[in-house]
Amino acid sequence: MSIFFSCANSSARGAIDDVVKVDGDLSLLAVSNDIYELHLNAPKGEGIVMFNFCQGPIDLSRFTHAAVDLQNLSNARLDVRMMATSEAVKNDRYASGRFLLQPAEAEELKVLLNRKYFPEESAWRETFGRIRGLPGGHFSNWRYLDTSNVRIVRLKITWDDLPSGEGKLLVSKPCGSGAYTSDSLTPDDLPQPLLDTMGQLIDQEWDGRVNSVSELAADGARDLAEFTNHPVMAGLTEYGGWKGGPRFDATGHFYTKKVDGKWWFVDPEGYLFWSLGVTGVGGGAVTPVKGRERFFPDLSNDDFWRVENLSHGYDFTLGNLYRKYGEGWEEANQQVTFGRMRSWGLNTAGAWSVKSVLGHGKVPYTIIIHPNLQVLGGLEKIPDPFSLVFRKSLLEELETAATLYSGDAWNLGVFIDNELSWGKGTQVAREVIDLKISVPAKKAMVDMLAKKYGGIESLNRAWRTDFENFDSIRSLAVGAANDAYHHDLELYVNFHAETYFAYCAAVLEEHFPGHLYLGCRFHGSIYDRKNVLLQNAASRYVDVMSYNIYKNSIHDIVTDQEVDRPILIGEFHFGTGSHGVWGSGLVACNSLEHQAELYQLYVTEAVEHPSFVGAHWFKWADHPTTGRYDGENYRIGFVSIVDRVYETLTDAIQNTANQMYPLRHSSE
């Protein structure tokens, strides 16, 4: 009996010959009832199945997901990448997912449809602000697409292990899956209160839910007994380095080294080290309470866990740790956290981990420095490296951090800043050029141009302009901008970036001598050739290039470097939007099992890549259901809000950790 019932019966039907295109090492054998029979034409290959609905877009607005059914009748393991978009050409408006299908396996492949935020006047926005996930299937994301006009659904199928025999697949025409109901709900439809004392949704059940506060104390006793003073995995140094590989100079601190064409960290004892980490270790997240008190339990007597006052917010994760361990909870949580990390094979506490787990000689760690940032035109989160305000703030932050972490052998390195708003191409220069001369960045640009041209007449000849003086220069309209103008904008972007990275590197070396500069954690507006100038400038000064890569694979992005540097992934994750938490994270998956599978696949690909030296998951604990300060409410933790472990995921971490060193050392 065919597995294809949901999509085959969809109302989203069209002229088959006009819709589907098969390319690569795939061929189309037959079509029947919107089911496509495909053949794998090579023992190792790649093929594309493209459903083009541009002539008649399909309406998936009533669904949470776009889906296809796929039945693998071959003897090969399939790696399937699925993308749906409402644009004729893919850009930033898409939904995507990745799936592995074993021989003879059948599965509904579905990708979460990202939607725009509700409008400001909606009841959801008035109650929950910019919360990312809501009951009924609404998930807001900057990659949102027009769900009523889906134009392209694309499957990229790869395989490399097809033995002799039939290589056949059955694929259904795309359709919708899961009922989207958020547009018909209001906050008043939710239970009041919405959460129990521990911050869990009242009206749902799931594996791992805590049904009474007394269960937390029992959890605490069990976890302390299991994880206190837990050793590292066999074959590893205390730092998590690899005893089974070659040994190099033991400097007493971490450094980087290229060995046989592959970048590595080297631990303080001289052993090769690959950073398998997680951010936010030991911490929680405050959820705002003011204006939505009716959704929360009575916390008026819970003075110890009140944040400023009850009207501001509450951190259920930390409150539950107190309930779990009682007085002395921080030290108890520290011991259990270290033990869990060592047991699972995690060897790095990434950015935003709390002080109680940093610098205690149990797990290597990074720190992140956040100096005051400036506003340059339309760029609201950017450093002005020529500004004394920025420089003074950076020095003060580094001086404070150095008293705690400088000279510590367990300090893997230092990030300065996170996901800055550099903009694409020459946007920094285009914003700065229209600022007042009193802005340090504009003054620096003017000085740079004056030094290059000598006089304004020379600049005017080059740009074909008629500015009175250097102070009066402004941006040129697209039609008036010539090559000389564009070249000078590029010169300024390089000047601005070089000044920033050079200054950060110099003052970091002053306060953290011998420690690694891990960069500023570039995100999606930078890589994929969007700002090559910036990446090249960074590579001249950082020890490690850091990127936050929220994709299904590291191979989904392109990075640039002028100077060869190792790459560290500062953040990645896959989220389920389940277990009492509405939000699915920045890269959604469909179950705990799918999450674990994608984790292992993502990290394994990074381990095999010669440039990558680590990957840090975001983050240790789930967000609160009702969202943190910025609305993020993702089910992406290794542990839940009641500090219970998602064992499917941590088993995958452990499997990855057990294999990563031999795999990296042997992979070509």
Neighbours of 231 (CB within 10 A): 10
Return the closest-CA partner of residue 392 out of 376, 418, 371. Answer: 371
- Distance, in Å, from the CA atom of 649 to the CA atom of 159, rounded to the nearest integer, reads 25
- Distance, in Å, from the CA atom of 559 to the CA atom of 529, rounded to the nearest integer, reads 7
Note whether 497 and 534 are within 8 A (CB): yes
Provide DSSP, 610-662. Answer: TTEEEEEES-SBPPPTT--TTS--B---SB-TT--B-HHHHHHHHHHHHHHHH
Phi-psi region of 147 (alpha: psi -120 to 50; beta: other; left: phi over 0): alpha
pTM here?
0.95
Which pLDDT score is estimated for 500?
98
374-398: per-residue pLDDT in tens? 999 999 999 999 999 999 999 999 9
Edge-first strand order for the sheet with 411-416 is 411-416, 365-369, 348-349, 275-278, 612-617, 567-571, 545-548
Among 7-11, 190-194, 251-255, the minimum mean pLDDT is found in 7-11
329-356: per-residue pLDDT in tens? 999 999 999 999 999 999 999 999 999 9
pLDDT at 565 over 70: yes
pLDDT at 7 over 50: no
Q: How confident is the model at residue 290 (pLDDT cuts 50, 70, 90)?
A: confident
* Superfamily grouping for domain 16-189: Galactose-binding domain-like (2.60.120.260)
Provide DSSP, 545-608. Answer: EEEE--SS-GGG-----SS---EEEEE---B---TT--B--SSB-SSHHHHHHHHHHHHHHHHH
Q: Say which DSSP state 327 is in.
A: T
- Distance, in Å, from the CA atom of 102 to the CA atom of 1, rounded to the nearest integer, reads 19
DSSP run (H or E) holding 246? strand 242-247
Q: How confident is the model at residue 298 (pLDDT cuts 50, 70, 90)?
A: confident
8-45: per-residue pLDDT in tens? 333 333 334 568 999 999 999 988 888 999 999 999 99
Return the closest-CA partner of residue 615 out of 626, 629, 604. Answer: 604
63-106: per-residue pLDDT in tens? 999 999 999 999 999 999 999 999 887 677 899 999 999 999 99
Q: Could you tell me the end-to-end alpha-carbon distance of the chain, in angstroms, rounded to an integer?
A: 44
pLDDT at 409 over 50: yes
Of all residues in the chain, what percent are helix, strand and coil, respectively (each to 5)? 30, 25, 45
638-668: per-residue pLDDT in tens? 999 999 999 999 999 999 999 999 999 987 6
Work out the percent of the chain whose per-residue pLDDT is above 70: 95
Which pLDDT score is estimated for 165?
65
Mean pLDDT over each residue of the chain, to the nearest integer: 93
Note whether 577 and 584 are within 8 A (CB): yes
Structure tokens belonging to residue 574: 């896959």
Among 185-189, 208-212, 290-294, the minimum mean pLDDT is found in 290-294
Between residues 507 and 129, which one has the greater pLDDT? 507
pLDDT at 420 over 60: yes
Which pLDDT score is estimated for 90?
65
Work out the percent of the chain whose per-residue pLDDT is above 90: 88
- Distance, in Å, from the CA atom of 270 to the CA atom of 282, rounded to the nearest integer, reads 28
Structure tokens belonging to residue 546: 């850091």
Return the closest-CA partner of residue 196 out of 545, 641, 524, 658. Answer: 641
Class for the domain spanning 225-292+331-421+500-666: alpha beta
Note whether 410 and 365 are within 8 A (CB): yes
Which pLDDT score is estimated for 666?
87
Structure tokens belonging to residue 193: 């209160």
Neighbours of 245 (CB within 10 A): 17
Domain borders along the chain are 16-189, 225-292+331-421+500-666, 427-494
Q: How confident is the model at residue 312 (pLDDT cuts 50, 70, 90)?
A: confident
- Distance, in Å, from the CA atom of 56 to the CA atom of 535, rounded to the nearest integer, reads 41
625-641: per-residue pLDDT in tens? 999 989 999 999 999 99
449-488: per-residue pLDDT in tens? 999 999 999 999 999 999 999 999 999 999 999 999 999 9
